[in-house]
């Protein structure tokens, strides 16, 4: 494996498949109650600029279950908060730990990664959320669905989750459609790259501004919050802009009868998704959340072990 996991640009499809295979192996062992501790005496630093539930708990618990130790590093408790440079911080932490997970600004993550000699894993930035999408791909495969040729529709904001989903979809030859209001599309450069890669792998990445057209024949409908962290001042404008892009029973009827519903959480019930759909029989949201633990254990095993 390569040194860092910042986005799916850092890994091949084959490496991603290896992560999914190891995830299954690790999850099966845990379900059988078998002890599995390949990361004994390994230490992982968790640095958070932004609030976190699933990322923080799954990496912390996962490191413990693999026999290692996680250290939560809040920025307010580090000398970074008093002016120490990112470069100096990275050099020092590299001598104490075996890897780091960063959840924060992409620029901050890139600075730490550039100056670290240990693996740096993206736990979420405003650009990408690769660990979430690894969990989603595993959830899809766990349900007996092969990613290649699958139609996945992302409804909402072209945010970090959407952009990582585009990268993952492109590598696996999926047919992904983004649907959201004009002005909230994914980054143009990422769109161009993923369109080309998807075509090479037998898939496609498209934009459709009509949500009902977008979800026709959809195998998976995926949504996320309309207001990401740091966008709270835009909430009123965003809720107005996205009002026609709610995942609800009416929209679900336009997709395949057995269409799967996905959400990375946290969900704002009544905004991007209704409770009826989130808690409905087609929802795999809670499996997605659980699988964050198992996929992140696979990433830790591959990135931190020899």
Query: For position 112, what pLDDT does the model report?
Result: 95
Are residues 188 and 117 part of one domain? no
| Structural domain includes residue 137 | no
Question: Tokens for 72?
Answer: 């939560």
Query: What local confidence, expressed as pLDDT, does residue 1 receive?
Result: 53
Q: Alpha helices, DSSP H only, in the chain?
A: 13-31, 54-65, 86-96, 106-115, 130-142, 160-171, 188-200, 211-214, 235-241, 249-252, 275-278, 285-304
For the segment 162-182, what is each residue's pLDDT rounded down to a tens digit? 999 999 999 999 999 999 999
- 103 falls within a domain: yes
In the prediction, which pLDDT does 81 show?
82
Q: 134 lies in a domain?
A: no
Check if the beta carbon of residue 120 is closer than 8 Å to that of residue 4.
yes
Instruction: Give the catalytic positions in this structure.
Output: 103, 129, 132, 224, 264, 292
pLDDT, position 74: 83
125 and 149 co-located in one domain? no
Same domain, 172 and 254: yes
Q: Which helix (H) or strand (E) holds 260?
A: strand 260-263
**Assigned domain for 1 exists:** no
In a domain, 36, yes or no: yes
The predicted structure's pLDDT at residue 243: 97
Kindly state whether residues 157 and 84 are assigned to the same domain. Answer: no
| 270 belongs to a structural domain | yes
pLDDT digits (tens, 9 = 90+) for 239-263: 999 999 999 999 999 999 999 999 9
In terms of domains, do 222 and 269 share one? yes
Say if residue 108 is in the same domain as residue 192.
no
Give the HSE-up count for residue 94: Cα atoms under 13 Å, Cβ half-sphere. 17
Domain of 94? 8-129+292-304
Residue ranges of the chain whose pLDDT lies below 70:
1-2, 306
Task: For residue 114, give the CATH number of its domain.
Answer: 3.40.50.1370
The 8-class DSSP code of residue 120 comes to: E
Question: Is the CB of residue 138 less than 8 Å from the CB of residue 144?
Answer: no
Residue 191 lies in a domain: yes
Please check whether residues 66 and 158 belong to one and the same domain. Answer: no
Compute the chain's Rg from CA coordinates. Answer: 19
Residues 76 and 159 in one domain: no
Q: 46 pairs with which residues across the strands?
A: 72, 101
82 and 210 together in one domain:
no
DSSP 30-54: HHTT----TTTT-EEEEEESS--SH
Count of domains in the chain?
2
> Are residues 174 and 215 located together in one domain of the fold?
yes
The reply to whether the predicted model has a pTM over 0.85 is: yes
What is the percentage of the chain residues whose pLDDT exceeds 70? Answer: 99
Residues 118 and 43 in one domain: yes
Residue 139 in domain = no
Backbone torsions φ then ψ of 262, nearest 5 degrees: -125, 150
For position 2, what pLDDT does the model report?
53
């Amino acid at each position: 494996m390569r040194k860092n996991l910042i986005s799916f640009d850092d890994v091949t499809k084959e490496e991603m498949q290896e992560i999914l295979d190891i995830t299954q192996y690790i999850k099966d062992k845990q379900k059988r109650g078998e002890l599995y501790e390949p990361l004994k005496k390994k230490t992982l630093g968790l640095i958070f600029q932004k609030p976190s539930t699933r990322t923080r708990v799954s990496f912390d618990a996962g490191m413990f279950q693999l026999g290692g130790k996680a250290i939560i590093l809040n920025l307010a408790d580090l000398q970074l908060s008093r002016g120490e440079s990112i470069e100096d911080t990275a050099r020092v932490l590299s001598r104490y730990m075996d890897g780091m997970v960063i959840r924060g600004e992409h620029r901050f993550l890139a600075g730490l990664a550039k100056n670290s000699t240990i693996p740096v894993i993206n736990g979420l930035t405003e650009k990408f959320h690769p660990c979430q999408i690894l969990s989603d791909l595993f959830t899809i495969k766990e349900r007996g669905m092969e990613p290649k040729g699958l139609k996945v529709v992302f409804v909402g904001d072209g945010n970090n989750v959407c952009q990582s989903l585009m990268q993952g979809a492109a590598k696996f030859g999926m047919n992904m459609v983004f649907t959201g209001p004009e002005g909230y599309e994914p980054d143009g450069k990422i769109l161009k790259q993923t369109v080309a890669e998807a075509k090479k792998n037998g898939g496609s990445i498209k934009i459709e501004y009509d949500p009902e057209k977008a979800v026709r024949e959809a195998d998976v409908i995926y949504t996320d919050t309309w207001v990401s962290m740091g966008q709270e001042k835009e909430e009123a404008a965003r809720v107005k802009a996205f009002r026609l892009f709610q995942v609800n029973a009416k929209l679900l009827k336009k997709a395949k009868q057995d269409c799967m519903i996905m959400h990375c959480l946290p969900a704002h019930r009544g905004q991007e998704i209704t409770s009826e759909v989130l808690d409905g029989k087609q929802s795999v949201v809670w499996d997605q959340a659980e699988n964050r633990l198992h996929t992140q254990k696979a990433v830790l095993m591959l990135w931190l072990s020899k």
